[in-house]
A and B are shown apart, each in its own frame.
Chain A
Amino acid sequence: MNVTLGQYYPSDSIIHKLDPRTKIIGTMLYIAMVFLSNNIISYGICTLLFVYLAKVSHVPVLMAIRGLKGMVFIIIITALFNIFFIKTGNTIIKTPLINITDDGLFTTISLCLRLVLIVCTSSFLTFTTTPISLADGVERLLRKPCSFTKISSSEIGMIMSIALRFIPTLIEELDKIKKAQQARGADFENGGLIKRAKNMIPLLVPLFLSSFRRADELAMAMESRCYRPDMKRTKLRELKYTKNDYYAYGVILFLLAVVVVVSLVWSMK
């Protein structure tokens, strides 16, 4: 059985090849950029960057937009609140019940645009980075801050990568247990909420037991291969920035600067 994790979209574009750290930090800078935007020019820059990313990464734009599906409800609710409850500015539409102002309209549009841009663009991070290299990137980024505390970033990295490694195994296992119990007449589809929850016991007990057994065996195998959390480990592939990473940082920082300047100028008007 093949289980695809997350939403990684395989391709060998420049974006895919970037260091995960670049993509994580880049995403954060982009979010900052979107929040600093307050006018049509800066929003335009943000949108253009989204379109550019979609083109360069070979990820179909539709796939990126599909990520909004879960957000639609939240976006609509926020939009409604803003449009009806912002009272400042000039009134555009006036009825006995609702009162829509131009301020309200602009805030609503920009808020929706922000949410859409952030969700769509940040989904490129997971589209173009495998979960495992994402974990690698997080580990590496945490290394410096962690060195001031007692937490070890390499342990965090190990935990993340083992969790990722075992997800397909456990999904397969769950599928097997489910079928085995169905063969014994168990019913997971019908019945009320409580009954269905109760019916999960024959699934969850074996799954927990097997997870514990696996964890135990894995710990033994790791120890047998000389894993000592307290010792310094080397790494086969240490993450290294390439020329493209510096370009990427350059581009995003430049655009951020432009957005900041444009927004400042706009707000002083």
Chain B
Amino acid sequence: MATNISTRPRSNPYAPNWGSKIIKALTNFVPTLVAIVVFLLIWQLLCSGPNATLPGPIQVLQDTWDPLIIDPFFQGDGTDQGLFWQLAASLKRVAIGYFLAAIVGIALGILVGVSTIMFRALDPIFQVLRTIPPLAWLPISLAAMRDAQPAAIFVIFITAIWPIIINTGVGVQNIPQDYNNVAKVLQLSKPKYFVKVLLPATVPYIFTGLKIAIGLSWLAIVAAEMLTGGVGIGFFIWDAYNSGAISEVILAILYVGLVGLLLDKLITFIGKLVLPED
């Protein structure tokens, strides 16, 4: 018998090939898919009786397919806009409020982290203010600004700022003593210490705060917009409810959840880019 030596280059058995990668992705994805199907089935069952107050998933899909789902970029008059524009308007408010909160929050956090006197002076105030629910700020905000748009942005700002301040402060206070000792022996100047030691050591804490803050901002904007009106996903939900279009409410809630998830992933992604890799 002739031994048949194959000269064909064989694939490296240890290298992951595409087949196994797809199988791995499927094994990760299948349980999620099953859970979603089960959830939809239970929902459909619960809402299929003659006395059901809410539409089932099939009903929601039928009600909202045309025009809400297929035409998210629809532009009409006033608040009559496609869902993309509603979400974009809300995101714009969140972006402004969140961005301002990040700048002021990081600065205040560093201040209370560096200075014991500032910490003693401001921390009790922060601890009280941070427990106030976002919507409780809205009346004051409306009274002060006399306009819905900046009032909503202020609510986002005041909601997002506390976790940023507190986490940044904790980060500065937790800079390892070793690093501070090195800075002292080397007699680093204040600006150098700030850029080369304090900021890099605090960045992971700052991003923890930013991540909590983006979630809270998105929670707050929906509630704030319900009260202030105008284009935005929050007012869209409230408006749909008032016109009895519960299917539209449900679709909008789903979009709110998905956008919230994307925002969270976005901050995590930026954090990974900025953080010194471990």
The answer on A and B forming one complex is: no
Q: Which residues of A contact B (CB under 8 A)?
A: none
Q: Which residues of B contact A (CB under 8 A)?
A: none
